Amino acid sequence: MLSDLRFGKFWLVFGWLSVFVAMVLSLLPPKAVEMPGWNDKVEHSLGYFLLTFWFCGIYQRRRYWVIGLCMLGMGILVELLQGAMQLGRSADVRDVVADIIGIAPALLLALSPLGRWPRWFEAIVPGS
């Protein structure tokens, strides 16, 4: 899994912490997390791009399809929870489309040499 990464636990913990923060921010009432000037769909696409690219960077390529499906599942779950919670948010299939617009290019970019970004970072950081 992460055995070839010196800071594998850090990458994993930070990734899951980011998922947790994204879930919380997605489920809070909209007034609590308003970002002036930002389009909701851009936020979705960018957020899911970053999360997908992060996890692809720390897992092996054969796991990318699982990462993509998990990110899609997270997006669908967020929309279902937003519709059910009645906290001023509503489920919107267009948000899931925006999530996919972020997930797909992240998966493609991860297949390029840039997908090895954690290994590059670890190579320049001195350590044992």
- Extents of the domains making up the chain: 59-128
Q: Is 65 helix (H, G, I), strand (E, B) or coil?
A: helix
Amino acid of residue 19: V
Rounded to the nearest integer, the mean pLDDT of the chain is 91
Instruction: State the pLDDT at residue 45.
Output: 96
CA atoms within 13 A on the CB side of 21: 10
Q: What is the per-residue pLDDT across 34-68, written as a single tens digit (0 to 9) for each?
A: 666 678 889 899 999 999 999 999 999 999 999 99
Q: Which residues of 45-61 are buried (b: 16+ CB within 10 A; e: fewer)?
A: bebbbebbbbbbbbbee
Phi, psi of 116 (to 5 degrees): -95, 25
User: Which distant-in-sequence residues (6+ apart) come within 8 Å of 65 by Cβ?
Assistant: none
User: Which distant-in-sequence residues (6+ apart) come within 8 Å of 20 by Cβ?
Assistant: none
